[in-house]
Amino acid sequence: MISPAARDALALWLDHQRALRGAAANTITAYTGDVTEFLTFITQHKGEPQGLGALAQISTSDMRAWMAHTRGHDVGARSLARKLSAVKSFVRWLAEREGFEPTAVLATRSPKFQRKLPRPLSVEAAKNVIDTAEFQSLTPWIAARDQAVITLLYGCGLRISEALSLTGADAPLANTLRITGKGDKERLVPVLPAARAAVDAYTRACPHPIEPDGPLFMGARGGKLAPRAIQSVMANVRAQLGLPATATPHAMRHSFATHLLNAGGDLRAIQELLGHASLSTTQAYTGVDTARLMEVYARAHPKA
């Protein structure tokens, strides 16, 4: 049982993350779960609900016990690192409010893990994915829908959540799309003719009424299309084409960025198109080497 004071503090911290840091809904959900799990463990570990004063007394051994406990529940290094990051952020904020020194928590080392670099498809493979997606359903309008969504992922570099958040008011697609991404950050994305044509073909074939304030992409029985439907299509396509398990819907976004860069696109422009806050994230997406990254920095920050 988490103490009322700790629960109230968590709620205030989450409000802070939403209001001042613009954290996305999925991030807030993850933060809530991660910090709640930590506070629950500390309560059980200490044998009684921990008020704010007690949280200030968390020791290095307490942190080691929590990490060992979490690892014991088959939590991998990557997930544990994420949980620790959330806990550190919460405790740092709490320490500033309550005036204590959070050394034991902040000094806890994050577990090392191998970062999985995105694996973009070749240009030919990406085109084959789009062409093959059309044949995954015997229902013509669903086939057109699946192809339209996957074309948007590759042709506009959208996240699957962004593509499925489009509404009927977005159709027919204009030359640019205003996309609201992570952290409610908006960006403008150019729309290729192929993407516009694919969406037009889908809207003409869709048997369900597409309302301006309703979802653009509909499920088989109406209502908003679920991401798992497109994930399933991609699974079938990669099996048919002999592609690796990394050929997911998100890989189409990676491929968009990499192919654009290889065609001479500017890394900072691609960063804007993807909606990345950090250029280093775009670097990881495209696999660009450090020398190329430093060239971009040099152009952006020329020496006097």
Domain boundaries, the chain: 4-106, 123-300
C-alpha span between 227 and 271 (Å, rounded): 24
Fold match between domain 4-106 and domain 123-300: no
Residue 251: what residue type? A
Q: pLDDT tens digits for 63-76?
A: 999 999 988 888 88
Kindly state the DSSP code that residue 244 receives in the 8-state scheme.
-
pLDDT for 213-243, tens place per residue? 999 999 999 989 999 999 999 999 999 999 8
For 211, the token pair is: 């309302």
Do residues 128 and 154 touch, judged by C-beta distance below 8 A?
Answer: no
| φ and ψ at residue 279, rounded to 5 degrees | -65, -30
Indicate the class that CATH gives domain 4-106.
mainly alpha
287 torsion bin: left (phi>0), alpha (psi -120 to 50), beta (else): left
Q: E-strand spans in 160-279? A: 176-180, 186-190
- What amino acid occupies position 37? E
- Please state which CATH class domain 123-300 belongs to: mainly alpha
Mean of per-residue pLDDT scores for the chain: 82
Return the number of other C-beta atoms located less than 10 Å from residue 153's C-beta: 28
Q: What region, left, alpha or beta, does residue 288 occupy, with left being phi > 0 and alpha being psi -120 to 50 degrees?
A: beta
Q: What is the pLDDT of residue 138?
A: 92
Preceding omega of 209 cis (within 30 degrees of 0): no
Task: Report the alpha-carbon distance of residue 233 to residue 213 in Å, rounded.
Answer: 26
Return the active site residues. Answer: 159, 182, 250, 253, 276, 285
Contact 179, 162 (CB under 8 A): yes
- Cβ(38)–Cβ(83) below 8 Å: yes
> According to the model, what pLDDT value does residue 132 have?
92
Q: How far is CA 72 from CA 44, 76, 85, 232, in A?
A: 16, 10, 19, 32
What's the token pair of residue 144? 């057109």
Residues 103-117 have pLDDT tens digits of 888 888 888 765 555
What are the DSSP E strand ranges found in the chain? 176-180, 186-190
More confident residue, 123 or 88: 88
Instruction: Report the Cα 227 to chain-centroid distance in Å.
Output: 13
Query: What distances in angstroms separate CA 189 from CA 177, 186, 280, one per listed residue?
Result: 5, 10, 20
Q: What are 13-55's pLDDT values in tens digits?
A: 988 888 776 667 778 888 999 999 998 998 888 877 767 777 8
Instruction: Write down the pLDDT at residue 4.
Output: 85
Q: pLDDT at position 266, please?
A: 57
Please answer whether residues 80 and 67 qualify as being in contact, where contact means their C-beta atoms are separated by less than 8 angstroms.
yes
In contact, 32 and 24? CB cutoff 8 Å: no
